[in-house]
A and B are shown apart, each in its own frame.
Chain A
Amino acid sequence: MHVLALGSSRRKLFVLTGAVAVFGVAVSSLLLVDTGSSAPPLAIDGVDLAALQQQDIDLKAPPSDAQAKISREEAAARAGFDLPVKEVVLSRLISKLPPKMDRLVWAINYDGGLPIGEGPAPVPGEPTVDVEFGPADYMLAFVDAETGEFLFSVQANRMQP
Chain B
Amino acid sequence: MLNYDPWVQPGSYVIAWPMLTRQDHTNWAQIGWREYAYDERYTYVQYTYLGVAYTHLYNPPEPEGQFSRYTVLYDPGVYPNPPTWRFQVNGVTKKTVSSLQWTPDEGQIAGEIHTLASQMAGGTNYRQIFWGMKIYYSGAWRDFNGSPGLMDTRYFGRNTDYPATVGEIWDKACTF
B151 lies within 8 A of A15 (CB): yes
Expressed in whole angstroms, the Cα–Cα distance for A157 and B49 within the complex equals 10
Contact with B along A7-45 (1 / 0, CB 8 A): 000011111111111111111111110000000000000
* Chain A, interface SS category: loop
The interface stretch among A63-71, A85-93, A122-130 is A122-130
Task: Flag if A17 contacts B25 (CB, 8 Å).
Answer: no
Q: Does B123 contact A (CB under 8 A)?
A: no
Secondary structure dominating the interface of B: strand
What's the minimum C-beta distance from B176 to chain A, rounded to whole angstroms?
17
Closest to A17 in B: B167
Categorize the interface residue count of chain B: 35 or more
In the complex, besides A15-B120, A25-B103, A156-B54, 13 extra interface pairs with C-beta distance below 8 angstroms are: A11-B114, A18-B148, A18-B167, A19-B108, A21-B23, A22-B137, A55-B54, A120-B19, A129-B24, A154-B56, A156-B52, A157-B52, A157-B55
Residues of A within 8 A of B54 (CB): 55, 154-156
Are B135's CB and A97's CB within 8 A? no
Interface status of A116 (Cβ within 8 A of chain B): yes
Q: A4-B114, A32-B82, A152-B56 are in contact. Are A119 and B11 (CB under 8 A)?
A: no
Determine if A111 is an interface residue (Cβ-Cβ < 8 Å). Answer: no
User: In chain B between 62 and 100, which residues have their CB closer than 8 angstroms to a CB of chain A?
Assistant: 73-77, 81-82, 84, 86, 93-99
B48, chain A: closest CB distance, angstroms: 7
Footprint of B on A, CB under 8 Å? Answer: 4-6, 11-32, 51, 54-56, 80, 97-99, 114-129, 131, 133, 137, 150, 152-159
By the criterion CB–CB under 8 Å, are A4 and B150 in contact?
A: no
Structural contact, B110 and A16, CB atoms closer than 8 A: yes
Q: Which residue of B lies closest to A28 (CB)?
A: B75
Instruction: Evaluate contact between A5 and B12: CB separation under 8 angstroms.
Output: yes
Residue of chain A at shortest CB distance from B171: A15
Contacts of B133 in A (CB 8 A): 17-18
Residue interface bits B150-176, CB-to-A below 8 A is 1, else 0: 111001111000001001110000000
Contact residues in A for B94 (Cβ distance below 8 Å): 99, 152
Q: Which residues of B contact A (CB under 8 A)?
A: 11-13, 15, 19-21, 23-26, 28, 30, 34, 36, 46, 48-59, 73-77, 81-82, 84, 86, 93-99, 103-116, 120-122, 130, 133, 135-138, 142, 144-152, 155-158, 164, 167-169
Given contacts A18-B146, A20-B106, whether A13 and B112 have CB atoms under 8 Å apart is yes
Contacts A24-B138, A32-B82, A117-B112 known; A122 to B150 CB distance under 8 Å? yes
> In the complex, what residue of chain A is closest to B98 when comparing beta carbons?
A32
Q: Please determine whether A137 and B99 come into contact, CB atoms closer than 8 angstroms.
A: no
Interface centre among B57, B136, B168 (most CB of A within 10 A): B57
Q: Which of B15, B28, B54, B107 has the most CB of A within 10 A?
A: B54
Most chain B beta-carbon neighbours within 10 Å: one of A27, A54, A128, A150 = A27
